[in-house]
């Protein structure tokens, strides 16, 4: 048995079954044996690949959208340029390169990376070189300034709880033990006030997921944007309202059982954007498919310009990346974008209200 599995088994023996969120938090974030704490999971040799790792175009367009939002809000002369869960730092590096020519933007930017993984902080320090760059444990530690922030495939990595409807009540899915093996069980049914609105669109047996951590992080960044100005761009897979069991484990680009190898596989769930929107005290944009968003920002023109300098395999890879980012059968529709902005401010380009 691995050290992390032993830790989980002894916790369950001592305290009884744990919520799916508690299990995810230990698997992903355990300081010694957690998935993110111990490795760089990204890229072809890793477990999964993300949009900024596929093409520089993704980060460039996000950077220009944030810079336009900064200009639209009067170009505040000191602001926080932040990323939540920056992975290898590729997205932030592309944001900074693409915005070099935006007058005053770099002088005003205080670059902050919110990252809990020590292993990934080290990678980020190699990729993003910036005077005074700061790493933060949580969004609450960001400086109190206008906040322009991007989060790509961050909210899907946050722990979710899962409940199954029974009458007007819910049974929570719990990770317990069958002998030595981890197994899913159900709690006794309980009333859950925060899920009142889900009684409208669910039936007996339906599973609903919610992420208390995701909602509180959204509330924190939305609160700062309402107070100081700024904009958040949230990009992730999911939908306006999530329904059903979307909890998944991925290892070496293949799906596996989330209970099979704790700490060795990536665990994610689809993002419920409605829950994030309900949590913020500021405006939120219409939820927009990633493909539509990138097309509106001019990805095709950028792709054509970049293609001129490429040939052979590099050209093929570039064309494939453009397609993967935008095509409805690839990431184009599954991935969505939503922005938070202060009351009275327009959403960043590519999005509408
Ligand atoms: N945004 C990157 C990486 C996505 S992977 C990309 O698009 O390539 C998820 C990232 O979120 C990792 O950097 C992981 O370490 C970080 N992360 C996960 N949970 C976190 C938390 N609670 N607080 C801060 N960072 C977290």
Question: Does the residue 346 lie in any domain?
Answer: no
Among the residue ranges 26-40, 68-82, 125-139, the one predicted with the least confidence is 26-40
Question: Does the residue 179 lie in any domain?
Answer: yes
Model confidence band, residue 155 (pLDDT cutoffs 50, 70, 90): very high
Q: Quick: pLDDT tens for 309-345.
A: 999 999 999 999 999 999 999 999 999 999 999 999 9
> How far apart are alpha carbons 333 and 241 in whole angstroms?
15
Mean pLDDT of 226-254: 96
* Ligand 1 geometric centre to CA of 154 (Å): 5
pLDDT at site 43: 80
Q: Is the CB of 59 under 6 A from ligand 1?
A: no
Q: Is the CB of 214 under 6 A from ligand 1?
A: no
* Ligand 1 geometric centre to CA of 156 (Å): 9
Q: Is the CB of 211 under 6 A from ligand 1?
A: no
Q: Are residues 93 and 144 in the same domain?
A: yes
Q: Which of 21, 94, 95, 116 to mutate to test the pocket of ligand 1 (most atoms within 8 A of CB)?
A: 116
Q: Are residues 173 and 147 in the same domain?
A: no
- List the residue whose alpha carbon is closest to atom 16 of ligand 1: 85
Q: CATH number of the domain that 67 lies in?
A: 3.40.50.12710
Model confidence at 37: pLDDT above 90: no
User: Mean pLDDT for the chain?
Assistant: 96
Start-to-end CA distance of the chain, whole Å, equals 51
Q: Is the CB of 232 under 6 A from ligand 1?
A: no
Model confidence band, residue 264 (pLDDT cutoffs 50, 70, 90): very high
User: Domain tally for the chain?
Assistant: 2
Model confidence at 145: pLDDT above 90: yes
Q: Are residues 60 and 155 in the same domain?
A: yes
Model confidence band, residue 45 (pLDDT cutoffs 50, 70, 90): confident
- List the residue whose alpha carbon is closest to atom 26 of ligand 1: 85
Question: Does the residue 350 lie in any domain?
Answer: no
**Alpha helix segments (H runs only) across the chain:** 3-15, 20-29, 35-38, 51-54, 56-72, 90-98, 105-108, 118-127, 212-228, 273-279, 290-296, 299-307, 312-326, 331-334
Q: Is the CB of 73 under 6 A from ligand 1?
A: no
Q: Are residues 168 and 56 in the same domain?
A: no
> How far apart are alpha carbons 43 and 92 in whole angstroms?
16
> What global pTM score does this model have?
0.97
Question: Does the residue 92 lie in any domain?
Answer: yes
Tokens of 339: 């922005």
Backbone angles phi, psi at 208, to 5 degrees: -120, 140
Q: Quick: pLDDT tens for 100-126.
A: 999 999 999 999 999 999 999 999 999
pLDDT exceeding 70 applies to what percent of the chain?
A: 100
* Ligand 1 geometric centre to CA of 87 (Å): 6
Question: Does the residue 295 lie in any domain?
Answer: yes
* Ligand 1 geometric centre to CA of 295 (Å): 26
Q: Are residues 65 and 193 in the same domain?
A: no
Q: Is the CB of 87 under 6 A from ligand 1?
A: yes
Question: Does the residue 181 lie in any domain?
Answer: yes
The distance from CA 223 to its chain's CA centroid, rounded to whole angstroms, is 18
Q: Are residues 76 and 201 in the same domain?
A: no
pLDDT at site 305: 97
**Eight-state DSSP code of residue 348:** P
* Ligand 1 geometric centre to CA of 152 (Å): 8
Q: Are residues 169 and 106 in the same domain?
A: no
Q: Are residues 169 and 274 in the same domain?
A: no
Question: Does the residue 91 lie in any domain?
Answer: yes
Q: Which of 85, 125, 234 to mutate to test the pocket of ligand 1 (most atoms within 8 A of CB)?
A: 85
Mean pLDDT of 179-195: 95
Model confidence at 1: pLDDT above 90: no
Question: Does the residue 10 lie in any domain?
Answer: no
Q: Are residues 92 and 175 in the same domain?
A: no
- List the residue whose alpha carbon is closest to atom 24 of ligand 1: 115
Q: Which domain holds residue 288?
A: 36-159+210-341
Q: Is the CB of 58 under 6 A from ligand 1?
A: no
pLDDT at site 136: 98
Q: Are residues 144 and 165 in the same domain?
A: no
Q: Is the CB of 153 under 6 A from ligand 1?
A: yes
pLDDT at site 311: 96
Asked which of 168, 183, 208 is the last residue of a domain, the reply is 208
Q: Quick: pLDDT tens for 204-228.
A: 999 999 999 999 999 999 999 999 9
Model confidence at 260: pLDDT above 90: yes
Model confidence band, residue 39 (pLDDT cutoffs 50, 70, 90): confident
Nearest-atom number in ligand 1 for the CA of 41 is 5
Q: Are residues 141 and 173 in the same domain?
A: no
Model confidence band, residue 346 (pLDDT cutoffs 50, 70, 90): very high
Model confidence band, residue 182 (pLDDT cutoffs 50, 70, 90): very high
> How far apart are alpha carbons 21 and 175 in whole angstroms?
10
- List the residue whose alpha carbon is closest to atom 3 of ligand 1: 87
Q: Is the CB of 157 under 6 A from ligand 1?
A: yes
Mean pLDDT of 153-168: 98
Write the CA distances from 118 to 31, 32, 268, integer angstroms. Answer: 9, 10, 20
pLDDT at site 46: 84
pLDDT at site 194: 92
Model confidence at 169: pLDDT above 90: yes
> How far apart are alpha carbons 252 and 116 in whole angstroms?
22
Q: Is the CB of 35 under 6 A from ligand 1?
A: no
Q: Are residues 71 and 215 in the same domain?
A: yes
């Amino acid at each position: 048995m691995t050290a992390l599995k032993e830790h989980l088994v002894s916790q369950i023996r001592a305290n009884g079954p744990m919520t799916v969120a508690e299990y995810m938090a230990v698997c992903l974030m355990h300081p010694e044996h957690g998935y993110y704490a111990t490795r760089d999971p990204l890229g072809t040799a890793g477990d999964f690949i993300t949009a900024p790792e596929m093409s520089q175009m993704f980060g460039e367009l996000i950077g220009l959208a944030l810079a336009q939002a900064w200009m639209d809000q009067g170009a505040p002369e000191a602001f926080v340029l932040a990323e939540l869960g920056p992975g290898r730092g590729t997205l932030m590096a592309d944001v900074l390169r693409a915005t070099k020519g935006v007058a005053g933007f770099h002088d005003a930017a205080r670059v902050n990376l919110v990252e809990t993984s020590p292993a990934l902080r080290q990678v980020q320090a190699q990729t993003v070189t910036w005077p005074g760059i700061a790493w933060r444990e949580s969004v609450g530690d960001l400086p109190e300034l206008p906040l322009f922030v991007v989060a790509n495939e961050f909210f899907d990595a946050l722990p979710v709880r899962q409940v199954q409807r029974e009458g007007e009540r819910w049974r929570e899915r719990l990770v317990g033990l069958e002998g030595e093996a981890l197994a899913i069980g159900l709690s006794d049914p309980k009333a859950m006030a925060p899920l009142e609105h889900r009684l409208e669109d669910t039936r007996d047996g339906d599973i609903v997921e919610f992420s208390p951590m995701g909602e509180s992080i959204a509330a924190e960044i939305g609160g700062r944007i309402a107070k100081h100005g700024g904009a958040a761009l949230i990009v992730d897979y999911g939908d306006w309202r999530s329904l059903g069991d979307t909890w998944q484990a991925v290892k070496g680009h293949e799906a596996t059982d989330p209970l099979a190898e704790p700490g060795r596989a990536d665990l994610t769930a689809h993002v419920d954007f409605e829950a994030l929107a309900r949590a913020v005290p500021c405006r939120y944009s219409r939820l927009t498919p990633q493909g539509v968003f990138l097309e509106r920002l001019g990805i095709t023109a950028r792709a054509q310009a970049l293609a001129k300098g490429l040939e052979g395999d590099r050209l093929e890879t570039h064309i494939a990346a453009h397609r993967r980012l935008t095509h409805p059968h690839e990431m184009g529709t599954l991935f969505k974008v939503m922005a938070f902005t202060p009351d009275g401010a327009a959403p960043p380009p590519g999005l509408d209200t």
